[in-house]
């Protein structure tokens, strides 16, 4: 640790309470990595703010000493967002974990950034409400807003950005701003809500979020449909979408991944390319939608369609799907996970999945294809041995091939995981001249570049 | 005209074709105003680009001569957005009016900015598709994106910002950028789509838009429900929303405005506070929703509920609603229209409408209350005599009173009309310290301040 850091840490200790500032090696190591294959790097210090004012003090101190500031939620990111490659201060939001207000009649909640999505849903259930965005991991809402997370339900309810009505943010100079308001729509001023969501800690630290929530639907029905090939499964979901059937979830799990699901979750599902679907609505409408969906799936060669109406079987089904990433990690001890994350216009999805499948099979690495195919977003999960440089290189090349395929067809290199450090090399290619505009915005709002430096832009 | 302008106009004439550059007084006068009470001001010259490259040439020329650039669609704005208070070059997009591509399978269209919403819907109908955003006026899509317009259907389909997948924009230095891509979601880079939508021509000129479109629903049902008081009508819509009934349109028209509707459109609707509703879905689901809606409306004292299932009656109903602003203008020759535009969290809507009604009655000016109450957004239409300074002042004070009421309750000064010049005085109050962040963004992207100067920020 250099003198600058030591001085800054001393100041932080004098400003905050005992237990709010830690230079303990274990604490720092826990915030030196995420859930992906990206290389670790230690912060100089970990701080645990308890209020917006604490965050403000931390950022002003960091600025005075020109130290990087890296916000940290639960460390579930997949592209290295939270790894402090330039050292500095990791701001751990685990002590800012209160649900501050439920505005039941307005379908709004106000939360601190450290609240996790399952924690919020537990509170909301009492009101007959729920928060839909579901990235699989039990991430914090602050982290989910920072990466514009989405997941299984976005095909119906939208992504994180669609839920944010207002953010309280501490910016680089320690100013506290609000990016929005409580109204359902506004044409007032520039759309800072949209800009700050997905900014990955590079424009400010979120200290409060006001989010849209939804009434628990009158009727919910889940279905599993298995297909002879991954292509027929993708064609089925595309046809269902194009028929205008309002699905609430539309997930693809390939054969290899169904095996992992059964191994890890103890389920006995058919080990075939499978669509996991869900429908939300009123009883009568749902019945009509599901009949129509069934007819389309059968036309697309569905071999078996099972429905789950009761709460327990539905929960089991979605838990199995959610545990898939952990199933792979658990199934391949010692290996690290690399996940591709492209998203394409729906007409290009079947081709993209087919292309990935061919190259994945040729690669010969352990892995599978899963995805939020209702949005045109899919992942290839690859388990790689980080000590084998050839394997790492092959995996990187595979990832790049998939990204290039998507970019050439109007897609994006990341549908939901974010840029972090993993997708930086594609930013110029994807955004062209607009990348310069992004850099201008970063320089205007964080002129010294201290907020999560060298991430995103 | 000064020497600078004369020189710039000469250059524009030499670069563009005959008929693309006009200094004709009538042409300039037609672009010196919008549809509101805001004072006219002439541009120095009107140009009619036919391509992105034309726009690029115009902006580079403007920059060299430090002349303002003001984009112009159909002039239907209500807050003075298109009025060139500092003179300069008005860029009229009426010759960039092509629907460039319908990506039927992706539910996407690519259009030039001068395409109007009714023109687009005519093209889409052949594909069984429609574009939902409906601000009443037959505005251009470029203009609608510039103000983040919304209207009757936003309660179901979202506002303009929710439809924009990509914009082609010429920025202040003449660079052509794309703000997005064709994928349904992305976590790549800063969200420029969201930032540029609603930027009112202050960050660049839009030259192409890629927009989401929707399948025409299987079943559509419209309803009119009349109530004894405006408060009972608002309470009914709030109850319908809180019951989770997915309405596609939810419009309030007060007694005075129903009279104007009947006078102008020749309809014989009850002259009572009325809700205009619409439902989209599948046949079975709709039936269940409408039964539930009816029960709630009756509980909230609905006196009469009429349903319109056939296309012709539905069209008549919505045309009558759309013509309301023109009905007032037509009904009060010589007067100008001022329209308030606040939007509040739904729990505050009844109080806000009541408050407005009391003060409108006390004011004694001609006008009425209408609104997209499903979003918490309502308008007071005031017809004012611009030659009577006292009347103008009273109307201004009334507008301010309504804005302050909304801002104190988490609302916004403009739900859909935008800031332009009319809502500038409330920006600091509404956005607080965030207003400084907006100014930083403006300076970073348009450092010389030539793009629609003195609007929005």
Write the residue in B176, B218, B284 that is nearest to A433 by C-beta: B176
- Find the radius of gyration of the CA atoms of chain B: 22
What region does A155 belong to: left with phi over 0, alpha with psi -120 to 50, or beta?
A: alpha
Q: Please tell me which residue of chain B has the smallest CA distance to A186.
A: B415
Range of lowest pLDDT (A126-140, A393-407, B225-239, B302-316):
B302-316
Say what the pLDDT of residue B107 is: 96
Identify the pLDDT of residue A311. 87
Average pLDDT taken over every residue of chain B: 95
Q: pLDDT tier at B250 (50, 70, 90 boundaries)? A: very high
Q: What is the pLDDT of residues A308-324, one digit of tens each?
A: 888 888 988 898 888 89
Q: CA–CA separation, A178 vs B433, rounded Å?
A: 8
pLDDT above 80 for B3: no
B10 and B36 share one domain: yes
Cα–Cα distance between B360 and A230 in angstroms, integer? 63
Are B155 and B205 found together in one domain? yes
> pLDDT band at residue B1, thresholds of 50, 70 and 90?
low
What's the average model confidence in pLDDT over B72-77? 96
Same domain, A224 and A182: no
B85 CB contacts (<8 Å, ≥6 apart)? B41, B421, B453, B454
pLDDT of res. A346: 94
Over the stretch A46-100, which tens digit does the pLDDT of each residue have? 999 999 999 999 999 999 999 999 999 999 999 999 999 999 999 999 999 999 9
- Assess contact for B434 and A192: CB atoms under 8 A: yes
- Where residue A62 sits, what CATH number does that domain have? 3.30.43.10
Do B262 and B383 fall within a single domain?
Answer: yes
Q: Are residues A86 and A116 in the same domain?
A: no
Residue B444 lies in a domain: no
Examine the domain organization and report whether B77 and B103 are in the same domain. no
CB–CB contact B191 A198 (8 Å)? yes
Residue B445 lies in a domain: no
Confirm if B51 and B16 have CB atoms less than 8 A apart. Answer: no
| CB spacing of B345 vs A430 below 8 angstroms | no
In DSSP terms, which residues pair with B116 in a beta bridge?
Answer: B140
CATH of the domain at B148: 3.30.465.10
Domain coverage including residue A323? 217-406
Number of domains in chain B: 3
B229 and B368 housed in the same domain? yes
Q: Within a domain: residue B441?
A: no
The answer as to whether B455 is a domain residue is: no
Domain membership flag for residue A245: yes
**B343 vs chain A: nearest CA distance in angstroms?**
6
Residue finishing a domain among A30, A59, A90: A90
Which of A213, A248, A264 lies at the terminal end of a domain, its last residue?
A213
For B242, phi then psi, to 5°, come to: -70, -20
Per-residue pLDDT for B4 more than 90?
no
B132 and B62 in a common domain = no
Whether the predicted interface score ipTM is above 0.95: yes
CATH number at B282 reads 3.40.462.10
Q: Do A345 and B184 touch (CB under 8 A)?
A: yes
Strands (DSSP E) along A282-366, which ranges? 304-308, 336-339
- Gap from B51 CA to chain A (nearest CA, Å): 19
The model carries a pTM of 0.97
Distance from the first to the final alpha carbon of chain B: 27
| A442 inside domain | no
Is B433 contained in some domain?
no
Q: Please tell me the distance from the alpha carbon of residue A10 to that of residue A6, in angstroms, as a whole number.
A: 6
Q: Is A449 domain-assigned? A: no
Identify which of A188, A376, A431 has the shortest CB distance to residue B412.
Answer: A188
A56-71, pLDDT tens digit by residue?
Answer: 999 999 999 999 999 9
Looking at A152-248, list the stretches that DSSP marks H as alpha helix, in order from N- to C-terminal side. Answer: 154-157, 160-163, 192-196, 230-242
The percent of residues in chain B predicted with pLDDT above 90, rounded, is 93
Contacts of B148 in chain A (CB under 8 A): 185-187, 191
Residues B108 and B79 in one domain: no
In order of B54, B87, B170, B176, the CA distances from B57 in angstroms are 5, 19, 10, 11
A230 lies in the same domain as A288:
yes
Mark whether A198 and A229 lie in a shared domain: no
Give the residue-averaged pLDDT of B316-339: 90
Map residue B224 onto helix, strand or coil. strand
Mean pLDDT across A379-386: 96
Residues A162, A105, single domain; the answer is: yes
**Per-residue pLDDT averaged across A267-277, rounded?**
95
Number of inter-chain CB pairs under 8 A, A vs B: 284
Question: For testing the chain A interface, which of B80, B184, B342 should be mutated: the one with the most A CBs within 10 Å?
Answer: B184
Last residue of one domain, picked from the residues A90, A113, A139: A90
Point out the residue among B162, B191, B346 whose CB comes nearest to the CB of A195. B191
């Amino acid at each position: 640790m250099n003198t600058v850091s030591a001085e800054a840490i001393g100041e932080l200790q004098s400003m905050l309470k005992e237990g709010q500032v830690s230079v303990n090696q274990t604490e720092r190591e826990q915030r030196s990595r995420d859930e992906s294959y990206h290389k670790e790097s230690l912060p100089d210090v970990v701080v645990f703010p308890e209020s917006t004012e604490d965050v403000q003090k931390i950022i002003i101190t960091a600025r005075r000493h020109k130290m990087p500031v890296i916000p940290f939620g639960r460390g579930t990111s997949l592209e290295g967002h939270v790894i402090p490659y330039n050292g500095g201060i990791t701001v751990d939001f685990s002590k800012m974990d209160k649900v501050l207000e439920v505005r039941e009649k307005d379908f709004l909640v106000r939360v601190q950034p450290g609240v996790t999505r399952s924690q919020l849903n537990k509170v909301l259930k009492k009101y007959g409400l729920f928060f839909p965005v579901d990235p699989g991991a039990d991430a914090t809402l602050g982290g989910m807003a920072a990466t514009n997370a989405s997941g299984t339900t976005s095909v119906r309810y939208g992504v994180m950005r669609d839920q944010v009505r207002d953010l309280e943010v501490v910016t680089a100079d320690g100013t506290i701003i609000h990016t929005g308001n409580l109204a359902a729509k506004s044409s007032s001023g520039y759309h800072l809500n949209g800009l700050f969501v997905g900014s990955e800690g590079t424009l400010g630290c979120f200290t409060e979020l006001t989010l849209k929530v939804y009434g628990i639907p009158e009727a919910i029905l889940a279905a599993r449909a298995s297909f002879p090939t991954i292509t027929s499964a993708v064609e089925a979901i595309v046809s269902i979408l194009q028929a205008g059937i309002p699905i609430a979830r539309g997930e693809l799990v390939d054969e290899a991944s169904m095996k992992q699901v059964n191994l890890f979750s103890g389920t006995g599902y058919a080990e075939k390319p499978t669509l996991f679907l869900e429908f939300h609505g009123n009883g009568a409408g749902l019945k009509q939608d599901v009949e129509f969906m069934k007819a389309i799936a059968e036309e697309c060669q569905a071999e078996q369609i099972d429905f789950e109406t009761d709460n327990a079987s539905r929960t089991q089904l979605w838990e199995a799907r959610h545990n898939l990433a952990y199933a792979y990690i658990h199934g391949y001890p010692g290996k690290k996970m690399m996940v591709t994350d492209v998203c394409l216009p729906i007409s290009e999805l079947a081709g993209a999945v087919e292309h990935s499948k061919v190259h994945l099979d040729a690669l010969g690495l352990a892995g599978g294809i899963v995805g939020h195919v209702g949005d045109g977003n899919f992942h290839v999960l690859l388990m790689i041995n980080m000590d084998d440089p050839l394997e790492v290189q092959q995996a990187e090349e595979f990832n790049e091939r998939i990204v290039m395929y998507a970019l050439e067809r109007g897609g994006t290199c990341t549908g939901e995981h974010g840029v972090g450090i993993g997708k930086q090399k594609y930013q110029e290619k994807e955004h062209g001249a607009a990348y310069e505009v992004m850099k201008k915005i970063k320089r205007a709002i964080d002129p010294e570049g201290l907020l999560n430096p060298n991430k995103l832009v």
